[in-house]
Each structure stands twice: as C-alpha cells, then as structure tokens.
Structure 1
Amino acid sequence: MEYVNLVFLIAFFVALLFFIFFLKKKSKHRFLKFIFSLILFMSLIPLLFMSFLPMNPISEPEGNYDVLNDRFYISFTPVKGNYETSTGLREIPINVWKAEGLNNYTGILIFSHGANGVDLSNEDLFVDLASRGYYIISLSHPYHSFVSEMSDGRKIFTDPDFMKSVMKSQNSEDYINSKKTYDSWLAVREDDINNILNTIFEGEFPDKAIDDEKPNIFLAGHSLGGSAVTSVARKRPEDLKGVIALESPLFGDITGADEKGFVFNKDKYSIPVLNIYSDASWPHLKDWPAYEGNLHLLNSNSFDVRNVHIEGIGHLGLTDLYLTTPVLTNLFDEGLDKKDAYEALEEINKEILKFLEDFS
C-alpha cells in the first residue's frame, strides 16, 4: 500500500516537472505548448488524489449477519455553558450499525470520537461488531466534531476556539488552567453521552429495537472520546458492563491541580477497563503528567483491567483515517504508521471483541 502511494506521488511530481519544463522550453507555438503542458499535468492530478485519498474500503466483516446502517437524532436541554445547536437545545446526530433481522442483540457499544473526529472514525470496527450481533451507536459531538450533519440539513463544523484550546493544551505545564480546560471539554461530551444513555434507560431511544438491551452496555472512545467515556464510567458504573479507551488520558480522574502537577483519583474502576495504546504514547506514559492515571492502571494486577500496545502505528492509526488517507495519517502521526492499515485495525478489532465477549 505504502509503495503504491509512493509511486503515485513520484508520478505527480514528475508530471509537475514536465509541466514546468515544457512551459520554459522555447517554442514558436507557445499557446499549443501551454495547452499540451496543461493537459499533461491535469491528466495526472487524479494520481495526487489517489495518493492522499485512496479511500480504501473497510474490511469485510467476519460475523454471520448482514449489517444495516441508520441515522437518528436526539435533542435535549444542555447543561449551561455547553454548545446549543438551536435556541435552548442541543441535537446529537448518531450513526447506528446493527445486524439485519436480529431481535436480541449481544450488547450495545456507544462510541465517542476524538477531537475534530467524526462519527465514522472507526467504521471498520463498528461494522464487524454489528455483524457479530452487537448494536453500535456512534455519536457526533457538534462543535467538537470535524463536521456534524444535523436533522435540518445544516452542517456544523469544529469550533475554532475549541481547537485552539486543544492545541494550547499540548505539553502545557499550566496544570491549574489545563484542568479547567479538560473539565470544559468533558462537560460537553459527558452531557451528550449521558443523554444517550438516559434515552435508552427511559425507553425513548429512537430505535425501539434495543428496548430489551439495557443491562449490556459498553462505552468506547478514541482520544478525547475515550477520556469522556472513562469519566462517565466512573460516575455511573451501575449502568455499564465495561469501558474501552483508545489512547485516552484519564481526564475525569484528575481531581485537582496545583503548580506542581495534577492530583488523580486512583480508586479502582468498578467495571472492566480496556486501554489500547499506539507508539505515540506507549513510550511516554511515565513522562506525560496527564497520563499518570493511565500509568496507575498499567501497573494494576486486576483481572478486569487490560492494557494493550498496538505496535507500528501512531495515534490516528487507531482509526479508519489510516485507511482513507494513509499518507496524510502518517504525516500527522510523524512517521509512526509503519504497519499495514488493515493489519493494525484487525488487531484493534480483535482486542475489543475479546474484551466484549469476556465481560458481556
């Protein structure tokens, strides 16, 4: 895959050089020369798109069921200070994957994407789990998502101030203000997740197919999404069977901060926890202050706490972005994505499936 992309890139730049060469070459037919050069260049532009956006399909699901995909919307009155999508209300678009013709689902998995992510961030995982009988709910968090498509057709993009706060928080040693920032992020996402859970338990979820599935709910998320679901898991463990975090600092476990660092809640989680890491954070868990809670779980001997390191990929390699645009993903991941995308995602899927099966 990487070699094919490299060939496409080389071909594009060769075409660009030819274009410049022909333009600079002296000729009596300057107009024809320009047209010829332009046609040559434009004919090879698709190679650039194929290189950066090859749009590789997700893996074939391995379960026994055909998978249906649907979209629903849930509206609620948000906690004060959280983003409204219309006057007094916040609407959450949700993507659902489920097995066709199945009446009793193996369980429910509610997924929260990362900062500037999308609800399709891990569709490869969603489809495979749905084919095995799981009911998948993936949230789009308006203003935290790259784009959220609302029920009225509007598209809400990432809030620039939110992204500025994300960038500013990287490696910050201002622990007091960092905690305030983390809390503000979690407030939005926890509100979204809690309202999804509440609609399920109150029998108001738009798809009545899961009315009987309430006891078997797992939460999962990537990056900030994982931070949010682990925080919810701390607060309402009685409603959940387990929680899965794809390379997520445990922001919800930070109970205080001063000039020297963070203070963490190190009590045992009341439900099973699966933490999955890439090469982006695994070597740094002992060094990054925000990951001290993760380090505590890493050293846990509890049978229901699992820590998995997926080698050969970076932070975004934990998502389907690695399939959609492997070249850009590797650029964003600073060259950490060395493993084949399909192989990496299959490894992630298997770890999550085993966790779900063991604790359902």
Structure 2
Amino acid sequence: MNIFSGHFRPLGTPAPMIDPFGRMVSYLRVSVTDRCDFRCTYCMAEHMTFLPKKDLLTLEELERLCSAFIDKGVRKIRLTGGEPLVRHNIMYLVRALGQKVRHGVLDELTLTTNGSQLARFADELADNGVKRINVSVDTLDAQKFREITRTGDLNKVLAGIDAAQKAGIHVKLNAVALKHFNGQEIPEIMRWAHGRGMDMTVIETMPMGEVEEDRTDRYLPLSELRRDLEEQFTLTDNDYRTGGPARYVTVEETGGRLGFITPMTHNFCETCNRVRLTCTGTLYMCLGQNDAADFRDLLRSTDDDAVIKSAIDEAISRKPKGHDFIIDREHNRPAVARHMSMTGG
C-alpha cells in the first residue's frame, strides 16, 4: 500500500488529483451538449444561439477525455447539458462509461436531466449502470411549468420519472427556488417527492449568462426558505452526502431528505471536489470563474494520452479557492457571461 495525503491506496492505482488547496478532485461533470428542448427563464434566453456541430467534441472524443480523467483518479461522472438526452446517439457514451462502472474503475455514472426524454431512455440507462439521476422540476402546476420552461410539458416529465423509477433508478428531484414563483409551493413539491421515495434538493439561482428577467426579482435566499419551512416541518441536519454540494436535512414529518445548494448565501467551495467539462472540450476548474483549459485542440492534435493527462495536471494546479457570485441591485449582471447550459448543470 502507498500513503498519499493521509489516504491509503493500492499499488498501481492512480494518485488522486489534489488541487492547490488540498482538495481531492474525484468528480467530473460533463456537458454533452449546450442544446435543450426547454428554455427555462432563469437558465436561458428565449432565443438562444447554439454552437455549431463542428465545435462540439464527438462522443468518441468525450469518451477518450473521460477515460483520461478516470485514469487520473476521477471516481464519479455526471452527464449534463443543456439536456443530455437530446444529444444524438448519447447512449454510445453512456454504454462506454457504464462499462467503466462494471469494471470497477469508475464508482458511479449519473445524469442530470429535465426528464422530457426519460420515458424513452430509462430502461437503457438502467441497463448501462446508471443507478441515480437528478430530474429538474420547479413546479407541479402544469401551466406554471410551461411558463417557467417556455416549452416544457409537465406530463411528459412525470411520465419519465415513472419510467425511471420502474426501471429501478433512484430519482432525486431538483427545484430552483424562485421568489414570486414557487417559494410557497416548495412544501407541496417536497411532500410529493418524499411520498414517492425521492430525495429533493432546492437550489439558489445563480448569476450566469444574460437572460431577459431581472435576477434580483427571482432570487430567493435558501436561508429564508429554510426559516419558512421550519414553521411547518422539523428539519434535522444529517451527514448524508452524494459527492455534490448539497447539504441535507431529514424532514421528520415525511421521513425524507431535503438538500440545500447555496452558492449565494453560503458557498460550498471549501469542500469542492469537482471540475466541469463542456461539450466543446473546455475544462472549467470552477463554475463561477472564467479560467479554463482547452482540450479540444489537444485531443485533435495528439494520440498520446500522456500529453492529455499532463494537461489535466496543469489545469488542476490552477483550480481556484472559490467563486464570487453576487446578486443584488448593484450587481445585476451575470458573474460569468456563459449560460449554465453551456457549462453544464
């Protein structure tokens, strides 16, 4: 056995990637497309200009880069978008990474989805090692759902959740907390989720990309939401973790778990173990910073994976301590210009 940063690891296994602040990077979030069949008002402009196909990594290039990260010590990969299930032939990548799970070199392959295509893909996802997914549902009111997504059909999403659960996939519900939209509805959504055996996470809106609405009008601090919830429910902090930034409580009245992701009121940077790869091969070491590393040209210029892995090491050495998100009347511009759909949700 070798000793590295206080951890034991078997001989022959990759040394973990350690950033300048001593955090082990073991989680890669991969955006497979910037496209989405929804246009959620807090995420995208209504009339988006998407990337031309030539700018995107091929699925084979994504597989090669993911494999390099796995060789460097990544143990969990989450596929995101945009909407990952609208990427043509996406199951090629799911199958390839699913084999990594079967062979024990990857602990977990997960997915974040809007649920619109789940009824079609749930069985195949389950067959290829996907045991957990996150589904974004900000309201259970069909008319409000159409309003917030601009194009979404709530019934299709609910049918997708049904299909995923029937296939044996554990579903976690994600809801962005939005003032004057769903703040009062969160208890109802939570009861529904817990009644179906699903965990739920609420998320603060983040200042990323230009959108038509005023973000300060939508921003609902989760500290405020939690105070409101505690008037109806008993919330007990617990140590449950999924590898992401959510901090969970047990809701005694429902028996379910509720997570809080708070990039604005209480950032989670001190424990960040994640980096994000876009569909164009750009690696962002922090969601809320612009520093990045380009892997597309590198992938297309060399067949030597050692060069790719060296570039990964260099990028991890630049991972910053944290982000600088602010939302108020004086900072009503996005902290970063790129939309969340480009970086990956």
Is TM more than 0.5 here?
no
TM-score (norm 2): 0.34
TM-score (norm 1): 0.33
Q: Which protein shows a greater Rg?
A: 1
Which structure has the highest helix share of the two? 1
